[in-house]
């Protein structure tokens, strides 16, 4: 199957827009939401989130069960954190993390509350915090223990 991939274009400071580029070939599924794709010309491999995929169709393309399943995943909007880039304390005393999402490039990074990430992916926060030697990381580790996200 062939797809195009959304890339962020910043024509000005105010607005972002998407540009559908490629043609890429689907290679394999890394998870229900992240696929490895291959550029048809350069043969370079990339990981991309299914929400960034636009299916390329022509009259010879069959709609398979797998294609239908992936379209459903796109509509659900599930994202997998790949790693934490930074942490910060909010004015209310809670913590948030700048998350790099698997299958996305850096412009898609976003701040998410620890509690939301810890619910499904406590290990990714713990791994980041234990690799940092900063005071805020130590405080955030204690915060996580107090909330029983890890021991």
- The per-residue pLDDT for range 87-127, each reduced to its tens digit, is 998 899 889 999 998 878 887 788 888 888 888 888 888 88
Residues 70 and 134 in one domain: no
Residues 67 and 112 in one domain: no
Residues 56 and 114 in one domain: no
Residues 68 and 103 in one domain: no
Q: Is residue 95 part of a domain?
A: yes
Residues 95 and 67 in one domain: no
Please state the pTM of the whole predicted model.
Answer: 0.56
Distance CA 9, CA 108 (A): 12
Last residue of a domain, one of 49, 76, 103: 76
Q: What is the pLDDT of residue 67?
A: 55
Q: Is residue 151 part of a domain?
A: no
Interacting residues of 61 by C-beta distance below 8 A, sequence separation 6+: 1
Distance CA 22, CA 43 (A): 12
Percent share of the chain, pLDDT over 70:
79
Domain extent, residue 109, equals 81-146
Higher pLDDT: 61 or 92? It is 92
Higher pLDDT: 59 or 116? It is 116
Check which CATH number belongs to the domain holding 118 and give it.
Answer: 2.40.50.40
Residues 66 and 92 in one domain: no
Count of domains for the chain: 2
């Amino acid at each position: 199957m062939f797809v195009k991939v959304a890339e962020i274009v910043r024509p000005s400071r105010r607005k972002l827009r998407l540009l559908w580029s490629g043609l890429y070939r689907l290679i394999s599924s890394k998870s229900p939401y992240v696929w490895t794709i291959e550029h048809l010309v350069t043969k370079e491999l990339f990981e991309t989130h299914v929400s960034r995929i636009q299916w390329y169709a022509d009259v010879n393309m069959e709609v398979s069960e797998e294609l239908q399943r992936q379209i459903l995943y796109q509509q659900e909007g599930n994202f997998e954190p790949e790693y934490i880039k930074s942490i910060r304390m909010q004015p209310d005393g809670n913590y948030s993390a700048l998350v790099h999402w698997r299958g996305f490039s850096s412009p898609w990074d976003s701040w998410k509350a620890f509690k939301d990430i810890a619910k499904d992916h406590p290990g990714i926060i713990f791994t980041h915090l234990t690799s940092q030697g900063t005071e805020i990381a130590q405080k955030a580790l204690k915060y996580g223990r107090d909330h029983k996200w890890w021991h």
